[in-house]
A = this chain, B = another copy of it.
Amino acid sequence: MAGNRMDPWIDSYAARAQGLTASAIRALFAVASRPEVVSLAGGMPFVSALDSDRFAEIAARVVREQGAVALQYGSGQGDQTLREQILEISGLVGVRSHPDDVVVTAGSQMGLDLVTKIFCDPGDTVLVESPSYVGALGVFRSYQCNVVHVAMDSEGLDPQALREALVTARASDSPVKLIYTIPSFHNPAGLTQGFHRRQEILAIAQEFNVPILEDDPYGLLGFEGEPPQAIRSLDDQGVIYLGSFSKIIASGLRVGWVIAPHGVREKLVLAAEAATLCPSNFSQLTVSRYLAEQPWQQQIKVFQELYRERRDSLLQSMQALMPAGTTWTVPKGGFYSWVTLPHQLNATTMLPRAISSLVAYVPGTGFYADGQGTHNLRLSYCYPEPSRIEEGVRRLAGVIDAELDLVNTFGIKTSDEAPGNSRPQLNPNSDLF
């Protein structure tokens, strides 16, 4: 058995390697791939909505016509033309910058990793939303950061709570290095900061002189009106902006970007070169030509429509089928709704029963560094067809009903939380129903 083999190097690892533990999402990927399971777990974009013949033809022309570049090492900062095109895209969320201050990365996860690497010594504090993106928590853990969750309300990150966290941290000996936020169509909370909220958060960050790390993979995938303007559109020195082609073109290309103040950008390029030498020219040039030749804004509209329809299917199914007491957020874009279970049911202990009933989700605890989230779960509507989403919700509602029956009949509660910590993570409000 692999798990039983002795590891001869167990005493040789760095202290940070202790933070490398498997995430709930990771274990779920295997489960979610079984066709009989309706997976509302993974955040995989529906790449089949791309015209793959057209994309194939573009990739082929890149190799045929620019092979000497596409197949070769390139600049550590990324392709110049692509960096200019990235600014066109970022302009849609109000970000103005210079191509010199854009760094192309192997997906925006790499941007997250590099920014953390250059800012955070072990023990430094990072403020994150409550809940926050599981992949970001993994990065912060891998650099031994002190992660502090800050409450959200219906508009996302709560300014009052943010200020309190900064005041508390100032009294400690752990400097706050980053405020990490996903202002638009939050993963996993499904919430979006309004414009005034963004101004408030920025003002507080400026007052305490802490940079904001703005993660914006979903910003162009809103379902109504214009895309929310990035916090970065309000301040080019105080905000480090992360963008990604994973959700607006294709995640399999692994192309994302960072837009950073000049001094940060210089360090980022050097860190990126140490990490991977340079991003893939093969991927970059394919993306660049796709943007140059294809109606990419129309393609984004196709994605918006597709995900809106699936979001509607999820919400309608939940409203029709979910047991009383279950609440959830109403996303206005992106991929996710955040569900709070009734009667403090435990989403982690419920998961094996859900999978037996052929539906998968991500338990809420994965989105916390501190054990919160036991009564929560994340539902993704991005990948399954609407009818499958409805079927998944039906199965999940059945599982929750069965759990509630147990509680009502025998008084057995699957929750294992202490009574003092029983408040749901998100307050009931106009975004919850």
- B-contacting residues of A (Cβ < 8 Å)? 2, 5-10, 12-17, 20-23, 26, 29, 42, 44-45, 47-48, 50, 52-53, 55-57, 59-64, 67-76, 100, 106-107, 109-110, 113, 117-121, 124, 135, 138-139, 141-142, 175, 177, 211, 237-238, 246, 250-254, 261-264, 267, 270-271, 273-283, 286
Contact = CB atoms under 8 A, between A and B. Distances in A.
A200 B306 CA distance: 62
A14 B270 contact: no
Nearest to A17: B118
A278 B2 CA distance: 22
Count this chain's copies in the assembly. Answer: 2
A402 to B, nearest CB: 32
Contacts of A15: 121
Contacts of A68: 47-48
A109 B276 contact: yes
A8 B271 contact: no
* Interface-central residue, A15, A100, A117, A252, by most chain B CB under 10 Å: A252
Given A13-B267, A20-B274, A118-B13, A254 B67 contact: no
Contacts of A107: 276-277
A418 B56 CA distance: 59
Contacts of A271: 17, 20, 142
11 contacts: A7-B262, A20-B267, A23-B273, A44-B73, A52-B64, A55-B63, A56-B63, A72-B251, A73-B251, A135-B277, A254-B278
A88 to B, nearest CB: 22
Q: Which 7 A-B pairs have the closest CB atoms?
A: A7-B263, A52-B67, A71-B250, A56-B63, A60-B60, A252-B281, A20-B270
A238 B9 CA distance: 9
